[in-house]
Structures are given as structure tokens and as C-alpha cells.
Amino acid sequence: MFDTVNFRLTADEVGAVSFIEETPCHLTDVGFHDYGGSTFVTGNLNGLKVVANQWQVKVKDGSLCKWFLGNNYQSMGRADVQQAIERLSDLLHLPMSRASVTRLDVGCNLITQQPTEVYYNHLGVLAYAKRLQQPNSLYYVKRDERLCFYDKNREQRAKREAVPELYNGRNVLRLEQRYMCRLPSVLKVPAVTGASLYDEAFYIMLLNRWRDTYKAIRKINDTLLNFSIMKTRRDLQRLGILTLIDSVGGELAFISQINEARQRGEITPKQAHDLREAVKQAGTLKDGLTIKNEAIKELDKKVNEAVRYYR
């Protein structure tokens, strides 16, 4: 379930190691830069960016999932995460299990029945987050984290990268929780290190948090108009009558108000009869004009399945 992971390893955590001298030996596209009186070295480790100076080394700006599994359509299980960090440690000759995690993305690709944009309108407010909807994505923004919904295949094509065969031609909704900084504070733990990522309790906590943040979104539009039945202006008028009936407490309450209006002389007996008939006719169509919206039910099921599977 992990994607982008940024690491920072300091000299205090490794002892007598010269990052400036030793780290470049394991990188490609190496460059040396002077900034503020200090020397920095940059390089590439099979798609991951590495930056080092005399005090620390950072691994950033790349998908750990893609680096280890070949693409980030797959989801990294806990064993995959541990193996990825062990391989990273071997390649850099550094104990990356001790490194602090400075950014972490937790996400999953959900194959959906409808195009991804269909689901955005059914996802409402999330407490303490700013909702930002774009034509092809939806973001919930907090101070140090983001919850993102977007079309994974669209993103892949925009990067001019191939879509895996399993996902090609399908609707793929990416649901991703991004922890941008201050991870210990946000997650309420003493520290987040490379080893934390494959700790069972920590891993399960992150998956549950991903699921629970999604569940905390207020869902909207839980009913849809049944356009297989409602095709005419008259049908729409009947739906309007049904809505009005519900607003005053139901059919009996509505008819009671009609009868009282006739008794007060506000409407004639003929008008009262016509109104009662309109109410009764609308009531006969109540079960057909609207249908239950299945979009949120589908998402709920897929999110719950993802957490169970990747534990």
C-alpha cells in the first residue's frame, strides 16, 4: 500500500561514514554542488533521487513501489516493504531501516464500474480538510497531509508510460493518503523510520487510518433519478409532488392539509379532489422514479477489501 517514501539518514545514526566520499560510488548521474559554503552530491539510484552532504543523505522524489515492483499499480505488502528497504540498504551500503521517513504515501488502485469522475460528486465534506475538486481529480487538504482521488490511467498516459495489461481499458480510481511532513506528530508516534514501515502494528495502523479517513467523508447524493422510467415532463412533475409530500410528513399528512384547506374555503371540493388524486398518482410511482445510488456502496466495499487483503 506504500508508494512514495522519502528517507533521511544522518551521520549520528550511522557512525563513521563519509556520505560525500562513499555515497557517490553507488549512484549514476553524479554531480557535486556548492551551496552556502557546503558541498552537496546528487545522483540517481535506479530512479530514486539521492542527495547527500557531510551530515546526512536523503532518498526522495520517487516511488518506492515502482522502484521495487516495477510499477506502482501493484500494492506493496508489508513483506515487500521490508525487502525494498533491505535492497536499498544493500545498494547504498547504509542502514536505511534507521533512516527517518519524511514523506509517505499510502494508496491503492481501485478498479471501478464507472468512470472515475462519477464518484467525485458523491464525496462531500471531510472535517478539518479543504475540499478541492478538479475536472479529473479530488483532493482533501489538511496542514500536513492530503487525501487524493484521481484517474490512475490518465496520470500514467500523461507521463507517457504504459498502462499494465490488467488495467488497460478499465476505470482505475487511485485513492491515496499523503503524509507530507511531521509524520511523528501527525501519526502520534515517537518516530517513523524505515523499520517502522514493515512493523506489523504500524503497518496495520496506517491501513486502518487510510480506510477510516475515507469513511469519514460525508457521502452525498445517495439516490439517483431513474431515467429508465422518468422520461417526460409529467414524470418530473410527479417527482416534485413526491418531494413536497415527504417534506410535510408523508401522504396522509398532505391529504389532511388539503381537506383542511377545503373546509376553510381556500379551495373548492373539485380542486381538493384533483389535488388528492395527484398525490395518490404520484405515490404509485414512488418506488420507480428513484433508485439507490450504488457508487458509494461500491467504493465502500472496495476500500474495505483492500485493507483486509493487504494486511
Q: At what angle do helices 200-215 and 295-310 cross, to 10 degrees?
A: 180
Long-range contacts of 189-194 (CB under 8 A, 24+ apart): 191/100, 192/100, 192/101, 192/104, 193/97, 193/98, 193/99, 193/100, 193/101, 194/7, 194/85, 194/96, 194/97, 194/98, 194/99, 194/101
Q: Which pLDDT does position 229 carry in this prediction?
A: 67
For each of the chain's 311 residues, which pLDDT tens digit applies? 899 999 999 998 887 788 999 999 999 999 999 887 889 999 999 999 999 999 999 999 889 999 999 999 998 989 999 999 999 999 999 999 999 999 999 999 999 999 999 999 889 999 999 999 998 999 999 999 999 999 999 999 999 999 999 999 999 999 999 999 999 999 999 999 999 999 999 999 999 999 999 999 988 766 666 777 677 888 778 778 877 887 787 777 888 899 999 999 999 999 999 988 888 777 665 556 666 678 888 999 999 999 987 66
Count of CB atoms within 10 A of residue 216's CB? 14
Query: How far is the first Cα of the chain from the last one, in angstroms, to the nearest whole number?
Result: 10
Q: Which pLDDT does position 192 carry in this prediction?
A: 98
| Contact yes or no for 122/295 (Cβ under 8 A) | yes
Q: Which pLDDT does position 224 carry in this prediction?
A: 64
pTM above 0.75, yes or no: yes
Q: Which pLDDT does position 236 carry in this prediction?
A: 78
Sign of CA dihedral 157, 162, 168, 173: negative
Q: Which pLDDT does position 144 carry in this prediction?
A: 94
